[in-house]
Structure 1
């Protein structure tokens, strides 16, 4: 299973810090987490979604052993 970790506002919107998912592609994962956590619908399009620390196209296949990080934009300097 793929581990999805939510940070900052994404964690607040999802209501949890992490979860295990089984979607076969990044696109399917995005759709699945919004379906299960409606609060992410407005945040996810602005988030960086990293697969094992790197950005990928939405059609990337997930083997089930990845770590997905959902990182909303951060302010700071």
Structure 2
């Protein structure tokens, strides 16, 4: 199962800092998150979603050792 880590506003919407998920691809994970947490619908498209520290396409397979980071846009200077 993939480990999903949420940061900042994504953590607030998810209600957790981290969870394990069983979706087979990144696209399936995105769809499941929006279906389960409607607040993600407005935020997730603006987030950087990294698998193993890299941006990948939605068809990316999520193996048992995958780490997915959901990073909302950050402001500051």
Q: TM-score, structure 1 length as denominator?
A: 0.95
Alignment correspondent of 1:57:
57
Aligned length: 77
* SS of the residue 2:57 aligns to: coil
Alignment correspondent of 1:17:
17
Segments of structure 1 that go 5 or more residues without pairing to the other structure are: none
* SS of the residue 1:43 aligns to: helix
Q: TM-score, structure 2 length as denominator?
A: 0.95
Segments of structure 2 that go 5 or more residues without pairing to the other structure are: none
Structure 1 segments of 4+ aligned residues over 2 angstroms from their partners: none
Alignment correspondent of 2:37:
37
